[in-house]
Amino acid sequence: MSVLSERRALVTGGSRGIGAAIVRRLAADGANVAFTYAASRAPADQLWSEISDRGGTAVPIKADSADAEQVSAAVDEAVSQLGGLDILVNNAGVTSSGNVESVSLEEFDRMLAINVRAVFVAIHCAIPHLGTGSRIITTGSIFADHTLGPGSAVYAMTKAAVAGLTRGLARELGPRGITVNVIQPGATATDANPDTGEFADAMRERTAVGHYGRPEDIASAVAYLASPEAGFITGISWNIDGGFAA
């Protein structure tokens, strides 16, 4: 039996980058996985096809995490399609750099909506479906604790917010046998965060191992927290950062 056999998971923002790696890993470990994508159907279809060809179950769901009603509907659809829910991975997120005085209110609201409100909405809607042994895992950021320099204050604020939410929820849901954790990736090479360029050079210099991580590194941590072995781990912010915070 695979470690996550018959477990049902929803991954938000799951069609690209770290999210797609999480979907692949959970499916490889035996879970039936639904995942959301915001706009482009092609990457979602490609991921669905890849997992289906390997005998797994993947359900693409179109949902913009900036829209609370779409997030709520995505949870309901995942429950309907999978027959229930055991694992919620809040991975959808956006970043925008700029000093506080240059960040528009519209930009601020969008980061808050996707990085914080969508996490709350998904959890709020998922809790009635989660039983003993269920898992809630949110993708945060090492920037919640350590910023590289100016220009990341608002993004860091949103990621610190979900870390605080995680700690509080661990207390609320622990008696029900539900664990709640946040992973905090450091420099991870994706299309949206390439490991080349001036910013990448600065991040690499601060990283103890001297190189960027891969999306699969983050997915491995998520898979462990989703597994039965991690039942005594809750309320943590786990840095997957190559020693950035060391």
**Residue for token pair 């661990």:** 170
- Point out the catalytic residue in the list 37, 155, 212, 224: 155
In whole angstroms, how far apart are CA 119 and each of 49, 58, 68, 201?
A: 27, 21, 10, 31
What are the CB-based long-range contacts (under 8 Å, 24+) for 172-176? 173/127, 173/130, 173/136, 174/234, 174/235, 176/130, 176/132
**212: annotated active-site residue:** no
DSSP three-state, residue 33: strand
Question: For residues 243 and 208, is the Cβ–Cβ distance under 8 A?
Answer: yes
The amino acid at 23: V
Distance of CA 19 to the CA centre of its chain: 6
Question: For residues 235 and 171, is the Cβ–Cβ distance under 8 A?
Answer: yes
What are the CB-based long-range contacts (under 8 Å, 24+) for 155-158? 155/95, 155/96, 155/97, 155/111, 155/115, 158/111, 158/112, 158/115, 158/116
Q: Where are the beta strands (DSSP E) in the chain?
A: 8-11, 32-37, 58-62, 87-90, 135-139, 179-185, 237-240
Strands 87-90 and 58-62: unpaired
Catalytic positions:
155
